[in-house]
Structure 1
Amino acid sequence: MRADALRTRKRLLDAAAEMFAEHGAEVSVAEIAERAGIGKGTVFRHFATKEDLIAAIVGGLLDDLIAAAVARCGATDPTAALREFMTYGVDRLADNQALCDVASGSVRHPDVQAGVARLGEAAQALVDRACVRADVTGRDVVLLMTGVYQAAAPLRDVEPELWRRYLGLLFVGLLDPTNPCAE
């Protein structure tokens, strides 16, 4: 790829990452192109569809969340590890609306869906070791993380850390009260 094309692609990816983080997956290609200082046609020369662009942006974010889950799988306190993962995940979601959209399943790109499935599997590995209710799944954890963020989002400007309180309340509900390690 030519040097000028590489610079254009970088501007496009940077603009898309910012726009998706701020406004979610619903942001238009025209808005992204405008922020990047390029035409819509240029966007489509680099990415055949808007979903391909979203996949390029959020793929790394999903990989980061998966790595965070995997890194905690061998923890000596698996319940604390699950809580740490969920805290890390909601913190990442709070910085990126598109990641919320993706984690909740609203983006149908095959690469994104595969990434979300891998994230659910990584979360399941944590759930399997933690002292949580038997009906909790990795997919539940991923969706609940987005729910915690969405519940606190309306007050984000006044109480940016409110999601932490909500996550604490939610986590208590995930614990298995019959298991002594959940105390």
Structure 2
Amino acid sequence: MTKTPVNKPSDDEAALQAPQPGPVSTWLKTQGFDHKVLPADHVGVEQLGVEPELLPIIAAALKGHGFDYLQCQGGYDEGPGKDLVCFYHFLAMGEQVAAMQAGETPTLREVRLKVALSREGTPTIPSIYGLFRGADWQERETFDMFGIHFEGHPHPKRLLMPEDWKGWPLRKDYIQPDFYEMQDAY
């Protein structure tokens, strides 16, 4: 059996395949904020990777730059042995309202921040509750389902599962307790 040679992309092709910085990334760079440019999502929303300790600083900068609404915060598991990810989807809603009041067609600006965390130990990230009160229950749900702790959150307890529940049900390596063991608990 003959092996087909693998064609490696040239430097020009590799540059075309790398995600290009969008307007928010470009603005953050001019302000001196370090981040990683991620590929846009399936509908073209700009995505940026940030380090956990920089999240509140970058979120505050984005809020000052017009991203005044946290539409969604959540988490997901990349798989056993891989990272847990927290994401934050911000919209510039004030601009939307102002454009509509002026009789103009609004153009929605949105950006998503992603923070990768090791699943080893206790994954911890600073809470952005102080900046966006809407993060309250969203961060609690992410804690409840994935075990990600939000440092500085005023109500750090489970939201969906009973307080004495063991484990994090949406982690891909979660082992569900035996049904009969749960019955014996009552």
Normalising by the residue count of structure 2, what TM-score does the alignment of the two structures yield?
A: 0.30
Higher RCO (C-alpha under 8 Å, 6+ residues apart): 1
Of Structure 1 and Structure 2, the greater helix share is in 1
Larger Rg computed on CA atoms:
2
Of Structure 1 and Structure 2, the greater strand share is in 2
